[in-house]
Amino acid sequence: MTFKFEKLEIWQDALDYLELVYRIANALPDSEKYNLRSQIIRAATSVSLNIAEGSTGQTDAEQVRFLGMALRSLLETVACLHIIHRMDLVTDRTDLRQAYRSAEILTRRLVAMRRSLAPESSWLKEPEVIYGSHSDFITPFD
């Protein structure tokens, strides 16, 4: 038996992002084991779990709600990336840059999926952010 969420590309992307976050978390110093390491892993895990939970045979409105929770968790991981960078907690910033780019793409996909399910909803409270193409990405960690 296959579950609906297992077929979703966005769920697969969230799992890829989670793997990258684990690499970053494992590179953090032991002093961050119960702080940033735990926080960023829980938030990244929440992204994939909310996509999965929202994909069940619920209404579009319910799925939109879970996608919103996934998006908030994803933004939490981005905030963690900034803290890790600012506090200079990792020496190699390659994974930070890659995670930031992946988060931008995943954010776009989550917003697009939400919009496709509820195009006339008023759930988007902030002005829409237009992201460039993949080749235009410049991360704050460059």
Give the start-to-end residue ranges of the domains of the chain.
Answer: 4-116
State residue 141's pLDDT score: 77
Mean pLDDT of 47-60: 91
One of 1.10.940.10, 3.30.70.260, 1.20.1440.60, 2.60.110.10 is the CATH number of 4-116, namely: 1.20.1440.60
Q: In this predicted model, what pLDDT tens digit does every residue of 21-34 receive, in sequence order? A: 999 999 999 999 99
Look at 10 and 120; give whichever has higher pLDDT: 10
Number of Cβ within a 10 Å radius of residue 45: 17
pLDDT band at 88, cuts 50/70/90?
A: very high
Q: Are 43 and 77 in contact (CB under 8 A)?
A: yes
| % of the chain surpassing 70 pLDDT | 85
Contacts of residues 59-63 at CB distance under 8 Å and 24 or more positions apart, as own/partner, are: 60/117, 60/118, 61/118, 63/117
Token pair for residue 19?
């793997």
